[in-house]
């Protein structure tokens, strides 16, 4: 079965935004990184090297790969292309970003989707905000969405209005303040499903109610230690069930994944991931998966 409603099935098609299309040049990075709250200014030539390695994991098989083009209306954060839209079996849901510097990304993506004939189900509009990093499929009929500083109750209400009539249950997960409005803190900062019954999680920031809901649904956990949270140990992309792609430098989480029967692939992501707070789930917009 092929569906967009999965975080763990074998990827059949996805979109990416290569570093050269998002970062443009060193001058662009120098002008934007501080405003967008990066940990440091990425080094452009090194981002190209890192991204080439990252992209290679999607070009060695039969994955249908699409690339978002350069667009002068968006900023360097557009490399984290998951956030601007949600893929469903009924068409794309175009988001409305909660981070001001990213406000133009959804329409830029919508233009790219329309250019290849991808259906649009609907769009989140102001005052609603919704970002794709706050959304994760638990199964084909259940979508979890984080209430965060990037995704507000009105955005969630609009999401429900689009999906509930289609038979999809939307579960709201109220997340904590943590580091505040300027930080990159999404639902998928603390949750990465890697199989139908296995998820990488960071329990200290996970609501008890939601953690228990996952247990009740049959999930077992790979727990990320505190020392690997900031280095994105919890940001793990499933290429297929229990085949995981993650940022290098998280050895404890990597070992725990392997102990749970997972194959783990790592990439060097200091420039394209760590500095901007966006791991492999953020850098990709998976579409169809085989489950």
Question: Could you tell me what percent of the chain has a pLDDT over 90?
Answer: 97
Backbone conformation region of residue 167, classed left if phi is above 0, alpha if psi is from -120 to 50, else beta:
left
CA angle at residue 80 from 77 to 84, to 5 degrees?
A: 90
Residue 78's pLDDT band (cuts 50, 70, 90)? very high
pLDDT of residue 84: 98
**Residues contacting residue 169 through CB under 8 Å, at least 6 positions apart:** 141, 142, 143
Return the number of other C-beta atoms located less than 10 Å from residue 30's C-beta. Answer: 12
pLDDT of residue 81: 98
pLDDT of residue 104: 98
Stretch 233-255: mean pLDDT:
98
List pLDDT tens digits, range 175-206: 999 998 888 899 999 999 999 999 999 999 99
List pLDDT tens digits, range 117-148: 999 999 999 999 999 999 999 999 999 999 99
* Cα distances (Å, whole numbers) of residue 22 to 37, 246, 262: 16, 21, 32
pLDDT of residue 103: 97
Torsion of CA 188, 194, 196, 199, to 10 degrees: -60
Distance CA 220, CA 257 (A): 11
Whichever domain contains 116, its CATH number is 3.75.10.10
pLDDT of residue 206: 98
pLDDT of residue 61: 79
Q: What is the mean pLDDT of the chain?
A: 97
Residue 44's pLDDT band (cuts 50, 70, 90)? very high
Q: Which domain holds residue 119?
A: 2-290
Q: Is 80 exceeded by the pLDDT of residue 263?
A: yes
Number of domains in the chain: 1
Q: Is 80 exceeded by the pLDDT of residue 60?
A: no
List pLDDT tens digits, range 90-115: 999 999 999 989 999 999 999 999 99
Stretch 254-263: mean pLDDT:
98
pLDDT of residue 255: 98
């Amino acid at each position: 079965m092929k569906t967009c409603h999965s975080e763990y099935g074998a990827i059949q098609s996805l979109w990416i935004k290569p570093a050269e299309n998002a970062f443009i040049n060193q001058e662009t990075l120098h002008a934007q990184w501080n405003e967008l709250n990066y940990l440091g200014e990425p080094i452009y030539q090194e981002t190209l090297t890192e991204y080439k390695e990252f992209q290679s994991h999607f070009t060695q098989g039969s994955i249908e790969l699409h690339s978002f083009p350069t667009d002068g209306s968006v900023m360097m954060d557009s490399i984290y292309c998951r956030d601007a839209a949600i893929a469903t079996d009924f068409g794309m849901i175009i988001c409305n970003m909660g981070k001001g510097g990213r406000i133009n990304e959804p329409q830029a993506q919508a233009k790219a989707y329309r250019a290849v004939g991808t259906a649009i189900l609907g769009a989140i509009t102001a005052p609603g905000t919704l970002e794709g990093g706050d959304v994760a499929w638990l199964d084909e009929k259940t979508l979890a969405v984080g209430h965060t500083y990037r995704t507000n109750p009105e955005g969630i209400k609009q999401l429900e209005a689009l999906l509930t009539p289609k038979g999809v249950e939307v579960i709201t997960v109220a997340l904590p303040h943590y580091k505040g409005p300027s930080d990159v803190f999404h639902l998928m900062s603390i949750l990465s499903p890697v199989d139908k019954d296995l998820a990488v999680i960071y329990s200290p920031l996970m609501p008890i109610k939601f953690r228990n809901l996952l247990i009740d649904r049959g999930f077992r956990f790979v727990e990320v230690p505190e020392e690997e949270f900031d280095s994105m140990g919890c940001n793990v992309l499933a290429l297929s069930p229990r085949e995981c792609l993650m940022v290098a430098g998280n050895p404890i989480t990597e070992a725990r994944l392997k102990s749970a029967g997972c194959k783990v692939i790592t990439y060097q992501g200091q420039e394209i991931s760590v500095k901007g707070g966006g791991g492999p789930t953020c850098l990709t917009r998976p579409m169809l998966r085989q489950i």
